[in-house]
Each structure stands twice: as structure tokens, then as C-alpha cells.
């Protein structure tokens, strides 16, 4: 378990630094120096010797076995690694931030406001960053406003590449209706899931094209 503890500690160090960087103004990139770390670079099966790393904004500016001295007029945050392993940030290509934070019963509960559900999703995004993921591909769910909040620095979280509402045929993977909910084609109403942007129920080529264009219109990447 010790290697896992070392890895998790290093991820937390890196993510707290990333969180600090996001709170900086665009014209004043954060300057962070990691001291006394061993680096896993993703290409070698060997860790580096004890090293120091200078980060400016989101760019690695220097890696040195010698102490990195910053000009006195520049504000620098120094983080002591104490020999821990520093790893590159992680990318998750398949997440559902909104649906990871809220289960199906909560999402379909008419008494649960969208704001309360989104609040939990914002916290989930922050926790995802602190787990080491600085970029994610969200493949379904209403995360456009969460992405904008993160991008503007109002909240903490990874860089999100959103897909928007899941597109599903009737009774498919993204059909979140309750058994008592009738199809809108046969006397039913638009589903709560569709109204919140969780999913689109689309049958046939034309409906799938329309649903896809709606997601793109909303900002899907």
C-alpha cells in the first residue's frame, strides 16, 4: 500500500497547486516550485533523482536537481515534496459529473430542485480535481454551466469537454422515465430528465440529428 499512498499524496500536492493556479488572474500566472520530489514522466519506468520543478501558470518552466531561485520581486509558492513522487496530471475520457453526484431517484424526484442537484455536481467536480484529474470528457449530463463556472475561476474543477444531454432511443440507455411516464407521442409530457438536459429521447434519423444539433448549440465539444 505504500506506493499507492505515495502516489495519492503526490496527486493531491499537484492538484492543490492546480487549484491555486486557477484562482490567479489571467495576466498573473501562478508560480509554484515543487521542492524535493522524484518525478514519474510517463515514458520511463524509473523515477528521477530528487529534483525541483518550477511551474508558471500551467507550463513546466524548469526541472533541476539544484535549488531553483526565483527573483525576489516575483511571488512564488513553494511546496515541499519531502521525497514524494510527482506525476503528470490525469485525464478521464468517460465521466458523468452530474450523474455521479446524483442518483436516478434524486434526479427524477420533482421535489429536488435543479439548483440543489447542480450544487452537488459542482462539489463532485472539485473532488475530481483533487483526485488528480485536471481534464475530463463528460459524455452525458447538464454540465455546461459548471464548465463555465470552472473556466471563469468561480469554482474549482477539471477542464471539462462536455457532450451535453445523452441521446437515446425509447427504452434505451438514456431513457430515464419512470414506468408510469407515458411517451410524449402518446399523451405524455416532456420528461424531467429532458427538461434538465440529462438526456434526449430520439427515435429515428431526423430526431437524432435534431438532438445532436441541440447539444452542439448548447456548447458540446
Q: How do residues 142-193 score in pLDDT, each as one tens digit?
A: 999 999 999 999 999 999 999 999 999 999 998 988 888 898 889 888 888 9
Mean pLDDT, rounded, of the chain: 88
Cα–Cα distance measured from residue 92 to residue 177, given in angstroms and rounded to the nearest whole number: 28
In this structure, the number of other CB atoms found within 10 A of the CB of residue 146 comes to: 22
The residue extents of the domains of the chain are 2-88, 91-218
The DSSP bridge partners found for residue 31 are 56
Residue 4: pLDDT band with limits 50, 70, 90: very low
Contact 165, 142 (CB under 8 A): yes
What are the φ/ψ torsions at residue 52 (nearest 5 degrees)? -125, 140
pLDDT band at 214 (very low <50, low <70, confident <90, very high): very high
For residue 89, the SS3 value is coil
The C-alpha cell at 190 is 416532456
Give the model's pLDDT for residue 20: 52
> Per-residue pLDDT for 3 more than 50?
no
DSSP H or E segment with residue 10: helix 2-22
Residue 138 — very low, low, confident or very high, per pLDDT cuts 50/70/90? very high
The torsion region of residue 134 among left (phi > 0), alpha (psi -120 to 50) and beta comes to alpha
Q: Report pLDDT digits (tens) over 69-112.
A: 887 777 899 999 999 999 888 999 999 999 999 998 899 898 99
From 22-36, 116-130, 153-167, the region with the lowest mean pLDDT: 22-36
- Rounded to whole angstroms, the Cα distance separating 17 from 36 reads 15
The residues pairing with 54 across neighbouring beta strands, listed in sequence order, are 33, 62
Q: Quick check: 158 and 147 in contact, CB under 8 A? A: no
Average pLDDT over residues 16-20: 53
Q: pLDDT value at position 17?
A: 54
Give the mean model confidence (pLDDT) for residues 54-74: 87
Architecture of domain 91-218: Alpha-Beta Barrel (3.20)
The whole-number average pLDDT for the span 129-147 is: 96
The three three-digit cell numbers of residue 208, written as one number:
437524432
* CATH code for residues 2-88: 2.30.40.10
Which pLDDT belongs to residue 196? 93
Amino acid at each position: 500500500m505504500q506506493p499507492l499512498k505515495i502516489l495519492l499524496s503526490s496527486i493531491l500536492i499537484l492538484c492543490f497547486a492546480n487549484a491555486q493556479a486557477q484562482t490567479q488572474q489571467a495576466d498573473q500566472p501562478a508560480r509554484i516550485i515543487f521542492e524535493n520530489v522524484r518525478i514519474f514522466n510517463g515514458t520511463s519506468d524509473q523515477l528521477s533523482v530528487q529534483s525541483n520543478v518550477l511551474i508558471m501558470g500551467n507550463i513546466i518552466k524548469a526541472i533541476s536537481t539544484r535549488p531553483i531561485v526565483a527573483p525576489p520581486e516575483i511571488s512564488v509558492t513553494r511546496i515541499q515534496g519531502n521525497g514524494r513522487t510527482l506525476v503528470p496530471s490525469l485525464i478521464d475520457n468517460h465521466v458523468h459529473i452530474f450523474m455521479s453526484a446524483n442518483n436516478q431517484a434524486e434526479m427524477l424526484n420533482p421535489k429536488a430542485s435543479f439548483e440543489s442537484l447542480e450544487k452537488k455536481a459542482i462539489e463532485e467536480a472539485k473532488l475530481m480535481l483533487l483526485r488528480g484529474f485536471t481534464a475530463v470528457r463528460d459524455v452525458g449530463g447538464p454540465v455546461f454551466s459548471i464548465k463555465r463556472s470552472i473556466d471563469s475561476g468561480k469554482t474549482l474543477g477539471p477542464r471539462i469537454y462536455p457532450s451535453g444531454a445523452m441521446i437515446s432511443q425509447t427504452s434505451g440507455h438514456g431513457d430515464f422515465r419512470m414506468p408510469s411516464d407515458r411517451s410524449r407521442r402518446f399523451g405524455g409530457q416532456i420528461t424531467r430528465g429532458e427538461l434538465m438536459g440529462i438526456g434526449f429521447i430520439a427515435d429515428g434519423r431526423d430526431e437524432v440529428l435534431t438532438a445532436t444539433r441541440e447539444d452542439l448549440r448548447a456548447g458540446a465539444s
